[in-house]
Each structure stands twice: as structure tokens, then as C-alpha cells.
A and B are shown apart, each in its own frame.
Chain A
Amino acid sequence: MIVNPVMCMKCNKTIATVKFTKMVEGKPHEIHLCQNCAASVSPYQPKMSTLENTWSEVLSQLLASSGSAKPLSQESKADESKSPQEKIDAVCDFCGFPFENYRKSPFLGCSVCYTAFEKYLINDIRRIHGSIQHTGRIPMRFRKLVEIKRSLDYLKRELQEAIKCENFEQAAILRDKIRHLNDGKSSGD
């Protein structure tokens, strides 16, 4: 019945010949793989538990790359912030919204809640979007700050790299650039 051949969902280069179906939250999810990728997932005939683990990994990788939401591997479910076991007493300083309320409804209290509950929310956000970094449009008034921050992140990574390679001359140049940007940032505020 499927009209067109399906490409392998892992390498996306070869036509998928192996189909797996896994029930996630009561719904069937199909994973189509080519022979090679199927073999890399399961190089030998594994025991059930191993198969189950590999499965979760493949599934969460694929879903993460396609940005899909719901299904989760067992591992990420355990550290997900919405898990009912651990009670979190955090309250947003700005609007007084208790984090516990977020477990009962899909909404947060205000925009400051994202800062207040960052560590509890971040896994949830990654699970929903497959990413935790905005790459879309930036309002004009934030543009300069965002540019500086992104340059700083980049320069800091370069600096680490330079230090690791003992390229101290380069490191000094990078350190100056970082200092310069930091000065600009504080005067811009």
C-alpha cells in the first residue's frame, strides 16, 4: 500500500528495507532502516533487554533529529521534570507561580518562570523541540545583545581550544577580544 519507497531514517541515504514497530504510550511508531543501519543498531542477536535499550536510543535519536515531541526513551523519561515522584518546591519570584502547578496544566505563570525554573524545564523543552537554542528571528532591541553573546560563546570556545593546543599567542589575542566585547556589553546595558 505504501506508494513510495521509504528512505532509511538513520542515514537517510539508502532505501529502508527493515521496519521496526514500537509501542510508545499506546501508539505504534514505525522506524524504517536500511540493512546497514539496522545492523549497526543490532550487530548481533541481542537479549531482549539490550534490544529494548538500543531501541530507545535509536528512537529518541530519530525523534530528536526530526524535532518530534511525544515518545521518549525510558532513560530520559526518568529524569524528565514532569515525573510525578520528586516534589519541587520552587516558586517564581516575579509572579508567584509554584512549579508544581506546571505539572497539572501545560502552562507556566509568566516569562520570568523560564529563568526561575530553568533547570527543571530544560529537559522538557529539549524533549518537546529536539533543541534548546533559538535560531529564528530576534527582535531589533535584542539583536545587539544576542550578537555579542553569540560572539562571546564562540570566542570562549576558541580560547579553550587555543589553551589546549598551547597556542598562547592566539589565546592572548582571543582574551583581548573577549575583554573588549565584555566592556561593550556592560556599556550597552
Chain B
Amino acid sequence: MKRNLYSESDIWLKDEGGCENVVISSRIRLARNLSKIPFSTHAKPEELANVERLVDERIQSILAFNDYESISLHDVSQFTRRYLKESHIISPEMEKGGEHRKVYLSPGGRISIMVNEEDHLRFQILAAGYNLREILDELIKLDTKLVELLPIAFSEQLGFLTACPTNLGTGLRVSVMLHLPGLVFNRQIEDTIKMLQPLGVTIRGFYGEDSEFTGDVFQISNEASLGKNEEAIVDSIESIANKVIEQEEEARMELFDKRPLIVEDTVWRSFGILSQARLMDTQETMKLLSRIRLGIERKYFSKMNHYILNRLFFSIQPAHVEYKRQTGPNNQKRDAARAELLRCLFTQSGSDN
């Protein structure tokens, strides 16, 4: 690798986005396949190689122009793959590795183009905060170029043809990552999830599919991709997310209004653990960071802001800690290193309070 992938992979998170109280990040991805080659889930090794070669040849102009890094997931270590997954740059499926699987990465990790995921091509744009329309425009520009350069499988009726019928049509998946401690604290989150269920959205945790809701982080994304056009899908997710943001803001208001001392105690108690503990695992850290993030709104910590916290959600993940402190894959060493990183940060940022 030419550049330092590890230190660059979360640069996208530094950008400012709207609604930072509640929205951590936005992501849109498109799924595309080449015609006349079986889908990656079913293709023979020589067919996967064919996809890899064809994509590599044809998109050189785009890649060079944007200074993309090309990473063969078969050639890098499992550790690197885990790091990229934790950074949300590759999917959990790509973390498994495999021959002829590749990712092209823009500087700073904002745009990634995955080759031979379940579809031949999956490309996404990540953005800090609430930025759906902007990233849709940008993604469509990239798509227009890719679709011109490659023989893409398309049908008039079903749109872009995908390995799984759930991605047919636009091949579009729009997700917004929301931090909802108010709704969790007030025990309203179940009502919110129930409200969302009939609206055609999927609710997932921090890591997407099958992940738990650690750190009160919820990702909402569209279920259907066929029938509505790209803008309409973004509009509907935006209006649903707006509703959830509104509910979260009301829940926080109610919390701060009716139980100020309990909230304050919970936030500072979390601060106490984060600034003193000697062993911290990922789950507990996420839970406590969520409470600190809630406290930021009340300006409890003068040196903390939402962006520092957003990046912490990523940088306390196992492979990130392992890389930063060279702990190796030992759980206890890693938990100790994580605790040390947190102690360092929180004793500094809390000293003037």
C-alpha cells in the first residue's frame, strides 16, 4: 500500500455535517453487475478474475484521476480487513477476504468501490453528519462514469440486476446512522422502532446487518429499491429520519427537563469510569461514550465535541486499538490499551470541569 491506510481511513469523519446532535453519518451505496458473467456469489474463480480484470482495466481513468488506492483483499491480512470493516469502508462480507476481491479507496476513505462482493460492484460514499442529497449527487456522477465504461446488467422492467432480488431496481441503499440515547433512556425506543416497521425501513446497529444496538447507535435504511427513483428513496429516508430526529430531540428535552440530576449523574458516572478504569472492552466503552455524547449537548465538557465522539466510536474498535498500541490479538492487553487511551483523553478533557 502506498499510503498509510490506517491513519487515513477515518478522515471522512472529520467533515462537518448537519444535525450533529443526533446524526453521526450518512451513507449511500449502489449495486451494479456486469452482464454475461455470473454474479460473484455463483461465479467460478476464473470468472471472478475476469470481473476483477475488466473493472481494473476500464476504470483506471477514474481511479488515477481521483488518486484511489487499490487494495486486494486476498493479499492483505485478516487484521487489515477487520480494520477496514471497523472503519465502515468494506462490508462484513468483504472482511472474509477471498480471491479476486478488491476495494478501491478514495483518499480519506470517503468513497469506496468494492469488487466481487455479492454483486460485481458495490460502491458507496460515506459522509459525516446528515448529507444525503449531496452524496447522492456525487454518487450518481460516479455511477454515470462507471456505467458508461462497463457492460452493466440492466432490464427495462427490473432496473439494475443484482445477485439478490432485494437490491433490484435502483440498486440503492441509503442509510443514516443515528445516536438515540434519549429514546433509549426514556424507554421510547421500542415505540420508535414500531413506528418505523411499517414504513419500509430496516433498522440495524453500528455494523449493519445482524449487529446489536451498542452505544445507542441505530442505522436506518430503505428496504425496497425498485419502484421509486433514487431521489424519492432518499426523500423518504430523509423524512423518516427527520421524524426520528424530532422524537429524539423531544426525548432529550424531556429527560433534561424532568430528570436533570439523573442525567447529569449518569453522564459524570460514565466519565468517572472512562477516566479511571484499567480494563475496558468495546461494548462497555460504546455504552459509556454514548452517555458522554449526550452530555456534550449540555456543554458538560468544554474540550469535547460531537466530532471527537464520533471518531471515538470508530477508534475504540478492537483492530483500531490493536493497531494504535500494537497490542497483538490479546484481549486483555487490548482492553488495557483501550482503557489507557480513554484515560488519557478523558483526564485531559475533564480537568477544567
Listed in ascending order, the chain A residues whose CB lies under 8 Å from chain B are 1-4, 6, 9, 27-31, 62-63, 66-69, 94-95, 97, 105-111, 114-115, 121, 124-125, 128-140, 142, 145-146, 149-150
Q: Within 8 Å CB of A69, what residues of B? A: 166, 200, 223-224
Please state if B170 and A134 are interface contacts (CB–CB under 8 Å). Answer: yes
Q: How far is the CB of A129 from chain B (nearest CB, A)?
A: 4
Contacts A3-B250, A108-B163; A129 near B224 (Cβ below 8 A): yes
Q: Tell me the bound Cα distance from A138 to B246 in angstroms.
A: 35
Q: Tell me whether B153 is interfacial, beta carbon within 8 Å.
A: yes
**B136-161 near A? 1/0 per residue, CB < 8 Å:** 00001001100110001111111111
Q: Within 8 Å CB of A30, what residues of B? A: 194, 197-198
Q: Which of B161-195 contact A (CB under 8 A)?
A: 161, 163-166, 168-170, 172, 187-188, 191, 194-195
What are 14 A-B pairs with beta-carbon distances under 8 A? Answer: A3-B250, A68-B197, A68-B223, A97-B38, A106-B166, A109-B38, A110-B37, A111-B33, A128-B168, A129-B168, A133-B226, A133-B227, A134-B155, A135-B228
Q: How far is the CB of A46 from chain B (nearest CB, A)?
A: 23
Q: Tell me whether B347 is interfacial, beta carbon within 8 Å.
A: no
Please state if A146 and B165 are interface contacts (CB–CB under 8 Å). Answer: no
Q: Tell me whether B35 is interfacial, beta carbon within 8 Å.
A: yes
Please state if A137 and B230 are interface contacts (CB–CB under 8 Å). Answer: yes
Contact partner, A139, options B154, B163, B168, B225, Cβ 8 Å: B154
Name which residue of chain B comes closest to A66, CB basis: B200
Q: Within 8 Å CB of B140, what residues of A? A: 137
Contact partner, B227, options A1, A29, A129, Cβ 8 Å: A129
Name which residue of chain B comes closest to A137, CB basis: B230
The A-B contact count (CB < 8 A) is 157
Q: How far is the CB of A139 from chain B (nearest CB, A)?
A: 5
Q: Tell me whether B199 is interfacial, beta carbon within 8 Å.
A: yes
Contact partner, A66, options B38, B153, B194, B199, Cβ 8 Å: B199
Q: Tell me the bound Cα distance from A111 to B168 in angstroms.
A: 11
Name which residue of chain B comes closest to A147, CB basis: B156
Contact partner, A131, options B161, B163, B224, B230, Cβ 8 Å: B224
The 10 A-B pairs of least Cβ separation, nearest first, read A131-B227, A134-B159, A111-B153, A67-B224, A136-B170, A129-B226, A111-B161, A68-B200, A67-B200, A129-B224
Q: Tell me whether B346 is interfacial, beta carbon within 8 Å.
A: no
* Residue from B140, B223, B250 having most chain A Cβ neighbours under 10 A: B223
Q: Tell me the bound Cα distance from A125 to B195 in angstroms.
A: 24
Q: Tell me whether B41 is interfacial, beta carbon within 8 Å.
A: yes
Q: Within 8 Å CB of A110, what residues of B? A: 36-39, 42
Q: Tell me whether B229 is interfacial, beta carbon within 8 Å.
A: yes
Q: Tell me the bound Cα distance from A171 to B158 in angstroms.
A: 30
**B206-243 near A? 1/0 per residue, CB < 8 Å:** 00000000000000001111111110000000000000
* Other A-B pairs, 15, CB within 8 Å; known A67-B222, A137-B140: A3-B188, A3-B251, A27-B197, A31-B198, A66-B198, A68-B198, A69-B166, A107-B118, A107-B164, A114-B161, A121-B165, A125-B165, A129-B224, A139-B147, A146-B156
